[in-house]
Chain A
Amino acid sequence: MDAPLLQIKQVSKHFGGFTALSGVSLDIARGERFGLIGPNGSGKTTLINCISGSLRNDAGSIRFENSEISGLAAYQRTRRGIARSFQIPRPFHTMSVLENLLVPSAYVVHLREAEAEAKAMEILSSIGLAGKAGVLASQLSQVELRKLELARAMAARPRLLISDEAMAGLAGAEVDEVLEILFDLNEKGIAIIMIEHIMQAVMRFSQRVVCLDAGRIICEGTPTEIVGNPEVQKAYLGA
């Protein structure tokens, strides 16, 4: 078997005296659908910030496609093939939806303008935003913003996509819509790390789930194993 796409070994992160992550180790395989859960403040976002490069880990190693990336800036990691969406959507709000996608096209894929626009339109139609291509990002609805986050990440042609609570605050049918998009992306061979509080979504989506609590991995397994795990129940419900 190939080496894992992403190898995280003994990663730690401190903020002053607070330990956000301590000795987290984790492998993600190519094309895997991976769920990351844990109560608020358990270190999920810190972990993906360390993977995407928004934060630097204090200790440990992060390898992507067999090369160490923990010293790289975020933009370099995006160019290597790691894209992410943000929990609170951060669109380029003075640009149109299409232009939002042209930023990664120009900086990651280095496409010519006409080619980039065609590719961007392709992505937009695949997630149902084609009709909004010319609209300013600041005028989108919540669901549309979530979709734009994913579309912009896609435009960087990642091999690993980190979806940070892409469904938080969405209504039932909207959750299904976003989930459908993520399944489609995964079918194209993109590994996806999904961070989510909506349990049904994580359980339906993930092949494997890890639960974090207080900066440590407390449990790893299939969705059904995780739900039945007493440690997980304790972390969520309290002792």
Chain B
Amino acid sequence: MKYWIGAALVVIAAFAAALSGMNEYFFYAAYIVLTFVVLSTAWNILGGYAGYVNFGTGAFFGLGSYSAVVLFKALEAPLFVQILAGAAIGAALGFGVGIMTLRLRGIFFAIATVAILFIMETFMVNWRYVGGATGLQLLRPEVMAPFDSYTRMLFVVMALLAVVAVSIARYIQVSWIGRGLRAIRDSEEAAECSGVPTLKLKLFACVVSGALMGAAGAPMPMYLSFIEPASSFSLNWGVSALAMPMIGGTGHWIGPVIGALLLGSIQQIVTVTISNEINVLVVGVLLVLFVVLAPDGIVGLFRKWTRRSSR
């Protein structure tokens, strides 16, 4: 109950902010931070709960973007339809990748996901309809009623998407599905012998995770008014989507949210004050620090601290 009040408050606050006179740049930056909330939450469903590390977030994200562009170019589909299509294509990719690779464990699965990323990029580079390697300029349609700028509208859409993603991740975590996924992470063989249908559950996690990543990618072309393969399928999406839950804490749904808000905001600030290139360095350094000093992330640190103070 508390959670749903919180979720409703977040949505209302996003709406109120978008309708207020706040500086346009805030929404421009916050949109990216919220995208990271969705991506890292989605990553965590498979990577955090089940322990299957996916480096190919960019493949799902980029494919979501391209699905939206194709629908927009061919049918002028509205944003809502684009997002649904992104989610559907992301889910389908998740299913396909899952069927092919989820029998692989540990590092082999991770390598396979990187391969998928490069396959996707190569495919789009060679597809003329969506602009090939040079990309495609897009004209945004008219903004919808209560909003007076497209960026503000996208900000609210992404806030909604973030709430949906986090709610799904939270449901999975507290339900029997989450317990099964944790069992898989701890010992796949023991899980199977305890009655957990491991392949089905992993596939489910991969599909949900892929759908959310695809959905997160769908509004991106409209946000940039542009699409091109190199940045859509960048490995950086995958690195961030992995680093943020690691830093926040992978065991709890709040972990990726904290990680994404923290790291995403730092990245935005660094981009403006120092340079765009330092971005990746910040992610890398923080990730190394956390892996070495606080392997359970901020959530883990918090738990340790509350346990100590309760004694």
Contact surface of A with B, Cβ cutoff 8 Å: 52-54, 73-76, 78-79, 83-84, 86, 90-95, 99, 102-104, 106-108, 152-153, 155-156
* Size range of the chain B interface in the assembly: 20 to 34
Contacts of A99 in B (CB 8 A): 179
Closest to B51 in A: A94
Contact at A83–B176, with CB atoms within 8 Å? Answer: no
A75-B192, A75-B198, A78-B194 known; A94 vs B180 contact (CB < 8 Å) = no
Contacts of A83 in B (CB 8 A): 193
A92-B182, A95-B182, A103-B179 known; A54 vs B190 contact (CB < 8 Å) = no
Contacts of A73 in B (CB 8 A): 192, 197, 199
Contacts of B195 in A (CB 8 A): 75, 78-79, 103-104, 107-108, 156
A94-B251, A99-B179, A102-B179 known; A107 vs B186 contact (CB < 8 Å) = no
Contact at B194–A156, with CB atoms within 8 Å? Answer: yes
Contact at B192–A90, with CB atoms within 8 Å? Answer: no
- Listed A/B pairs (16) with beta-carbon separation below 8 Å: A75-B197, A91-B187, A91-B190, A92-B183, A92-B187, A92-B190, A94-B185, A94-B186, A95-B183, A99-B179, A103-B191, A103-B194, A106-B179, A107-B194, A152-B190, A156-B194
Report which residue of B183, B198, B251 has the largest number of chain A beta carbons within 10 angstroms of its beta carbon. B183
Contact at A52–B193, with CB atoms within 8 Å? Answer: yes
Closest to B198 in A: A75
How many angstroms from the CA of A86 to the CA of B188 in the assembled complex? Answer: 12
Instruction: Say what secondary structure dominates the interface of chain B.
Output: helix
Closest to A76 in B: B197
Contact at A107–B189, with CB atoms within 8 Å? Answer: no
How many angstroms from the CA of A56 to the CA of B125 in the assembled complex? Answer: 44
B19 in contact (CB, < 8 A): no
B196 in contact (CB, < 8 A): yes
How many angstroms from the CA of A155 to the CA of B192 in the assembled complex? Answer: 14
Q: In the complex, how many angstroms separate the beta carbon of A177 from the nearest chain B beta carbon? A: 22
Contact at B196–A103, with CB atoms within 8 Å? Answer: yes
Contacts of B193 in A (CB 8 A): 52-54, 74-75, 78, 83-84, 86, 153
Contact at A90–B189, with CB atoms within 8 Å? Answer: yes
Contact at A95–B186, with CB atoms within 8 Å? Answer: yes
Contact at B176–A107, with CB atoms within 8 Å? Answer: yes
Closest to B187 in A: A90
